Structure formats: C-alpha cells, structure tokens
Amino acid sequence: MMTMRVFRVDPKDKKKKELRAYAARMHYHLPEDCEYLVAADDDDVLSGFAALLPDRDVTDILFLYVFESKRRKHAGSMLLRGIEDAVREAGGRSLRCIMPAEDNLMTLFTRDGYGLFPGVTEYAVSFGTLYYSKLYRKHIHGRSPKKAKTLGECTSAQKRALETLLGKEEMTGLLSAVFDGAEIMAVLSCEAFTKGILVDYMYVKKEHPELLLDCFRLLDSKLVSVYGERMSDMMLSFSTGNDMEEELIKSFSGGLIPPQKYTREYVAVKNLIDFT
C-alpha cells in the first residue's frame, strides 16, 4: 500500500506561490496569508496539497487537491489525516471545510469521521421559464439598461468602492452596478457555469429597488449577446443568502412555476480534541 508524508511549506518557499497559482487556474483564489501542506509519496513525487487558514479554535481547509494519477489509492484520506496531525500538533482544536456537493468529496470526509452539514439553500429557475414570464419580458428581457454599467465602464473611484465591498478577487466580468458618483446604489455580481448563471452577490438601496432590475437588464443583454438562443437551456441560480432572492425569482417566473431548491455546498466539521 502506498504511504505518504505530509509536510508544511515554508512561507518563504517559492513553492507557495506556485501552489497558489495552480489553485487559481481551477478558479480557487486563495488568500496570500494561508498555509500550505504538501503530500509526497515514497519516491518524493507530489501527490497533492492543501491550503489552510488557521485560527485559534477553527482551522479552515480552503483547498484540498489530489493529483489525478494518485486518486483511488487512498491518497485523499492520507492527505486529510496528515492535515489533522499537523493542525493538532500546532494546537488547533477543530477543522472545517466548505465543499461542493460532490459525492466523492462527501464520502471522503464522512468516512474520516467528519460531520456533514448542508450549506445555504439556493434557488434556481430556467431562462426558458423566464422568457414566458410577462414580468421578466416587461421589465428586463430586451430592455436596455438605463444606469447600470459594467466593471470596465466604472471609474477608478467606483472600482475602489466595489473592491471595498466585494474584494478584488470577486470582481468578475459578469458584474453590473449603478452609482451615484462613487457611491454604490446597486450591484449584481454573477459567475458563469456550464449550465447556467450563478448570482453570488446582490445589493440595492432600499429606496431604489428599480436599480437592481436595471442591473439585471445589463446581465440579460450580455447573456443574449454571448449565448443567443442557447440561453433558454440555462439556469439562473442564486446563492447570495439574501432574503429577497426567493421572492425575486418567483416574480421573475411570474409565480407560475416554483423555483427549484437545492444545496450546492456542504460544511464538513471535525473536532481534533477528545473532550471525554
């Protein structure tokens, strides 16, 4: 059976930047101050690595990756146990990992004694449904935005305001916003996936709800230009944790079809200290 040693990467080692860049290629933008653990096999060949964000009580596993050639050889479990040993030796009390709802990952953590808890409930509706919604067609689809602008159209001061609100790494190409000078009045931040669009942040001044619709108009026009008729096969999903999202998506679909509810992420938690 393959064995594996897990060791920390020195903060000054250039390998840290290489691992961070590797994660970024898979769309995981890790903070610069996180710690890295690397797993190597008997021949000192890299098997996988993890990025951790330690705290006094809870250490977060921000990234966990095993290279394809090392999978199905218990490498994931060995890496996870190596992480536990390293965190325990450093005085950590518990581990936590927010993961996508993938069967292999969920099995890995539950098999190693982690408690698994569902993340935020998300809501989704197909764009095909939206096209038949009178409300969506009346207020959004095919209508030109009045005040919303893309990230590329923002001034330097407006970009700084967005960076303060969202963080530089969260400012994607599917972002639309409305400003009064440099003050943010409304913002809609989205990500594009193979089967749809995920709204991961939305905000609007309470006295100006129409500005959020203007952001959706800009999103809709960008999607039409990129996807055309293929949009009808895509989903519009929300994961903002915002109380308005269920009502908003019901309104968009005309209330005729209830939005689909599902969980995209799970939280795995394990105590490293025996309290008995």
Q: pLDDT tens across 190-214, in order?
A: 988 777 888 888 888 888 888 999 9
| Per-residue pLDDT tens digits for 150-188 | 999 999 999 999 999 888 766 777 899 999 999 999 999
Provide the mean pLDDT of the chain.
Answer: 85
Residue 33 half-sphere exposure toward CB, CA atoms < 13 A:
3
pLDDT score for 215: 94
Measure the CA–CA gap between 177 and 147, rounded to whole angstroms.
Answer: 8
Q: Tell me the one-letter amino acid at 12.
A: K
Give the number of other CB atoms < 10 A from CB of residue 233: 12
Q: Are the folds of 5-119+265-271 and 121-263 the same?
A: yes
End-to-end CA distance of the chain: 33
What pLDDT does residue 256 have? Answer: 60
**Contact predicate 147/211, CB 8 Å:** yes
- Per-domain boundaries in the chain: 5-119+265-271, 121-263
Each residue's pLDDT tens digit, 19-61: 999 888 887 888 888 999 998 877 777 888 999 998 878 999 9
pLDDT above 80: residue 257: no
* The pLDDT value given to residue 196: 86
Q: Which residue has the higher pLDDT, 216 or 54?
A: 216
Q: What is the pLDDT of residues 64-118, one digit of tens each?
A: 988 877 776 677 888 899 899 989 888 888 999 998 888 888 998 998 899 999 8
Give the model's pLDDT for residue 155: 94
Nearest to 215 by CA among 115, 146, 142: 146
Q: Say if residues 39 and 4 touch (Cβ distance below 8 Å).
A: yes
The mean per-residue pLDDT over the stretch 119-141 comes to 84
pTM exceeds 0.85, yes or no: no
> Has domain 5-119+265-271 been given CATH number 1.10.150.110?
no
* Res 174: pLDDT: 87
Is the pLDDT reported for residue 14 higher than 90? no
**Cβ neighbours of residue 177 closer than 8 Å, sequence gap 6 or more:** 148, 149, 151, 154, 158, 162, 184, 185, 186, 187, 188, 215
The structural architecture, per CATH, of the domain 121-263 is: 3-Layer(aba) Sandwich (3.40)
